Amino acid sequence: MKQIELISEINRLRHEKNAVIMAHYYQMPEIQDIADFTGDSLALAQEAQKTSADIIVLAGVNFMGETAKILNPAKKVLVPDINAGCSLADSCPAEKFAEFIAQHSDYKVVTYVNTTAEVKALSDICATSTNAKKIIEQLPENEKIIFAPDKNLGNYINSVTGRNMLLWNGACHVHEQFSVERLLDLKNAYPNAKVLAHPECKNVVLMLADFIGSTQALLNYATQSNEKQFLIATESGILHQMQKLNPEKEFIPVPPIDSTCGCNDCKYMRLNTLEKIYNSLLTEQPEILVNEEIRKKAVKPIEKMLKMSV
Ligand code: 13P
Ligand code: SF4
């Protein structure tokens, strides 16, 4: 089917089935452009909690679909490609994490939403990169905290809050891969450009950044800034929204190590296509299902996070 026909079929099906398409900022431009709602991890969770649609098509990765299902179990939650995992979620298997928590039973357990439902079920509070600082600052200063799975985000939050959280040794394969050498070359080539970096990046990259923030925070910064050029150290999908909202500004992606390509893409996010979205609406598959016992435990830390983010 041609792209124009696919879009028209997607539109027909979403209206017929009262479905909503939610897309993360790391989706391909054509998916962001047809989505009913586009946002970062926190915004997608908030939107999934309040939607009145019968079907949620979550164009992102599986943990985002699971979060939507956990928050709104009466809805049918579909993902375009069931293989859209996440290297951060994979770095924290529930059985190993349960053992780790058992060894530190006097710690509060804060987990990034980039985890499986099973790991969320073991947690006291969830966090995203948008609200992690705010959430940690609301915990008593003497509280012992485990933060998992992203060690880079954990280190960054430790540095801005003065806490000494115990960190799980996980990382995102995209954000770990930014090349410092190529970033320095770009800074030379664009001496007036501001460097915007996601806190999942390594500390050496964050040290070169003019602004550090979640995907939404980077977009807001770029939009509100009077500067004209920006070097972007996060998944390259966000450049689409940055450029759309700021056509007069220039956004240059920071490339990864060992790549001839200029962009750093998440291989999981890029599994989704318009065709797969169409197929998921047509067949109502693949559907995200979460065991009810796990869901009841996992919903508590997510709801706590949403309350603490207001
Ligand atoms: P945010 O959406 O919180 O910026 O997280 C980035 C990310 O890696 C999502 O998978
Ligand atoms: Fe996971 Fe990193 Fe991809 Fe986000 S960008 S989905 S954290 S692998």
Own/partner pairs, 217-225, CB within 8 angstroms, 24+ separation: 217/129, 217/130, 218/242, 219/25, 219/245, 221/196, 222/196, 222/246, 222/249, 222/251, 225/194
Cα 90 to middle of ligand 2, angstroms: 10
Q: Average pLDDT in the 162-190 region?
A: 96
Ligand nearest to the CA of 25: 1
Is residue 165 located within the same domain as residue 182?
Answer: no
Element (H, E) at 289: none
- Report pLDDT for 76: 98
**CA nearest neighbour of 10 among 37, 38, 35, 44:** 35
Q: Average pLDDT in the 22-46 region?
A: 97
Reported as a pLDDT band with limits 50, 70 and 90, residue 121 is very high
Q: Which domain covers residue 182, as residue numbers? A: 178-253
Task: Give nearest CA residue, ligand 2 atom 1.
Answer: 86
| 260 pLDDT above the threshold of 70 | no
Is residue 68 located within the same domain as residue 110?
Answer: no
Cα 201 to middle of ligand 2, angstroms: 11
Q: Is the CB of 61 under 6 A from ligand 2?
A: yes
Written in H, E and C, the secondary structure of 171-202 is CCCCHHHECHHHHHHHHHHCCCCEEEECCCCC
Q: Is the CB of 114 under 6 A from ligand 2?
A: yes
Is residue 168 located within the same domain as residue 93?
Answer: yes
Is residue 79 located within the same domain as residue 92?
Answer: no
Cα 113 to middle of ligand 1, angstroms: 9
Cα 12 to middle of ligand 2, angstroms: 31
Q: Is the CB of 174 under 6 A from ligand 2?
A: yes
CATH of the domain at 221: 3.40.50.10800
Residue 259 in any domain: the answer is: no
- Report pLDDT for 195: 98
Is residue 80 located within the same domain as residue 111?
Answer: no
Q: What is the dihedral of CA 288, 295, 303, 306, to 10 degrees?
A: -20
Is residue 300 located within the same domain as residue 153?
Answer: yes
- Report pLDDT for 309: 92
Residue 221 in any domain: the answer is: yes
Q: List pLDDT tens digits, range 204-230.
A: 999 999 999 999 999 999 999 999 999
Is residue 17 located within the same domain as residue 68?
Answer: yes
Reported as a pLDDT band with limits 50, 70 and 90, residue 44 is very high
Mean pLDDT, the chain, whole residue set: 96
Cα 145 to middle of ligand 2, angstroms: 23
Secondary structure (3-state) at 26:
coil
> Two tokens at 238?
């966000």
AA identity, residue 70:
I
Q: Is the CB of 171 under 6 A from ligand 2?
A: no
The rounded percent of the chain whose pLDDT value lies above 90 is: 96
Q: List pLDDT tens digits, range 47-98.
A: 999 999 999 999 999 999 999 999 999 999 999 999 999 999 999 999 999 9
Is residue 121 located within the same domain as residue 103?
Answer: yes
Whether the Cβ atoms of residue 40 and residue 29 lie closer than 8 Å to each other: no
Residue 182 in any domain: the answer is: yes
- Report pLDDT for 1: 87
How many C-beta atoms lie closer than 10 Å to residue 273's C-beta?
A: 17
**Cα–Cα distances in angstroms (integers) from residue 62 to residues 8, 76, 178, 207, in the given order:** 26, 14, 24, 31
- Report pLDDT for 259: 65
Task: Give nearest CA residue, ligand 2 atom 4.
Answer: 86
Scored b (16 or more CB within 10 A) or e, 20-57 reads bbbbbbbbbeebbebbeebbbbbbbbbbbbebebebbb
Q: Is the CB of 113 under 6 A from ligand 2?
A: no
Task: Quickly tell me which residue has 């966090």 as its tokens.
Answer: 127
Is residue 80 located within the same domain as residue 92?
Answer: no
| 261 pLDDT above the threshold of 80 | no
- Report pLDDT for 251: 98
- Into how many domains does the chain fold? 3
Reported as a pLDDT band with limits 50, 70 and 90, residue 263 is confident
Task: Give nearest CA residue, ligand 2 atom 5.
Answer: 266
Reported as a pLDDT band with limits 50, 70 and 90, residue 245 is very high
Reported as a pLDDT band with limits 50, 70 and 90, residue 248 is very high
Is residue 191 located within the same domain as residue 49?
Answer: no
- Report pLDDT for 257: 87
